[in-house]
Amino acid sequence: MKRLQAFKFELRLSGSEKRLFYRFSGSCRFVYNKALALQKDRYEKGEKKLNYAGLCKQLTQWRHQNETLWLKEIHSQVLQQSLKDLERAYRNFFEKRADFPQFKRRGVRDAFRFPQGSKLDQSNSRIFLPKLGWLRYRKSRDVLGEISNITVSRYGKRWYVSIQTERDVPTPVHASLSAVGVDVGVARLATLSDGMVYEAVNSFGIHRQRLAFLQRRASKRKKFSQNWKKAMAGVSLLHRKISSIRQDYLHKTTSAISKNHAMVCLEDLQIKNMSKSASGSLAIPGRQVKAKTGLNRSILDQGWHEFRRQLEYKEAWLGGTVIAVPPQNTSRTCPNCDHISAENRSTQAHFECVACGYVNNADKVGAINILRAGHARLACGETVRLGRSMNQEPAEAIQALRA
């Protein structure tokens, strides 16, 4: 099977090299915004939207105009990748996967991509990028496979290189035969059906007061002044720390789960809908807005979507599988007698069935029900049809899945 994998490293740049990187990213932003403005203008005039080939012709004209001759100093394929990004943004909008493309702002998500022409010297920890030359990077592991493209991005004051590779690997077979259900939450990041608990790290909640202080200090500075830039750099640095803590914990958690279990069952949560604002409008104001805002903040602080994304690709690399099940009544159903009632869960952590008296932790009960629903989905779902009975052991189900 072919494995696509990205290897990300921090670049070790001098001041002049950083200035070149800012020029490259700024040029890509300029081309993207100019092409988006052109598409909007053609739409207002009733003309047909230009495709990627038409935009490339426009880019050639811009590179030869007197007012934009500086675009010649930037690698042409890097600028073309910006046009590809715009084309992808339009496609996502028309297919209702994203909102309408917006103009890019300076200093937000600075990045550019090289589709070809790069070289990698791993023995000396350096990489060659067209028109930028040889650059040093902090090597933390070997890059495996053939390079397909390279993306350079900025996070805070640091620049990173992401090397996308492709290589053939043997079809993996998971070393384990166990299956587990995972219930994600706010008080606990994840509770497994076998009793294992991963506590929430709450990186944003821990640093929330410090972040508010830095943001208030930045708001009192004159915008775009040197003091304002210093204050905003502090805000950006703290955001980077919060994100790094969350990512590190999620990687450790998902790696442990994926290595120990061949089948992982999760709830198919609609996180975007769950974290919507409850403020409402002037005509119809929302209710319990403060409580809902705190809940939304806690949900986003856990990184549920990233947790599921990491589990899916790690299980695929190890030969396992991730099954998403409907979340309805997973926390209200008794795993002993199948009685469904909202009264079964009297508090956030306590579960006691009103029919049979079964008592357990509420999160563990949810994980058990998720695992049962995953077995049912595996037996007669649309994605995998094996025709096994509900009483089949997890190890037998996983062996049937491999066959």
State how beta strands 263-267 and 179-184 pair. parallel
8 Å CB contact between 203 and 35 = no
Burial class of residue 293, CB neighbours in 10 A (0-12, 13-18, 19+): middle
* CA-angle at 276, arms to 271 and 277, nearest 5°: 155
CB atoms within 10 A of CB 71: 19
- The one catalytic residue in 85, 87, 301, 363 is 363
Backbone angles phi, psi at 253, to 5 degrees: -70, -50
Length of the chain: 403
User: Which amino acid, 87?
Assistant: E
8 Å CB contact between 377 and 160 = no
Who contacts 336 (Cβ-Cβ below 8 Å, separation ≥6)?
353, 356, 358
- The one catalytic residue in 85, 87, 267, 312 is 267
Asked about 363 being catalytic, the answer comes back as yes
Residue recorded with tokens 């070149």: 20
Asked about 338 being catalytic, the answer comes back as no
DSSP helix/strand/coil, 4? strand
- Give one word for 288, left, alpha or beta, with left for phi > 0 and alpha for psi -120 to 50: left
Token digits for 346?
A: 């009297």
Query: H helices within 49-153, ranges in order?
Result: 52-64, 76-94
Contacts of range 125-128, beta carbons closer than 8 Å, 24 or more positions apart: 127/161, 127/163
User: Which amino acid, 321?
Assistant: T
8 Å CB contact between 93 and 101 = yes
- The one catalytic residue in 183, 301, 312, 315 is 183
Task: Return the active site residues.
Answer: 183, 267, 363
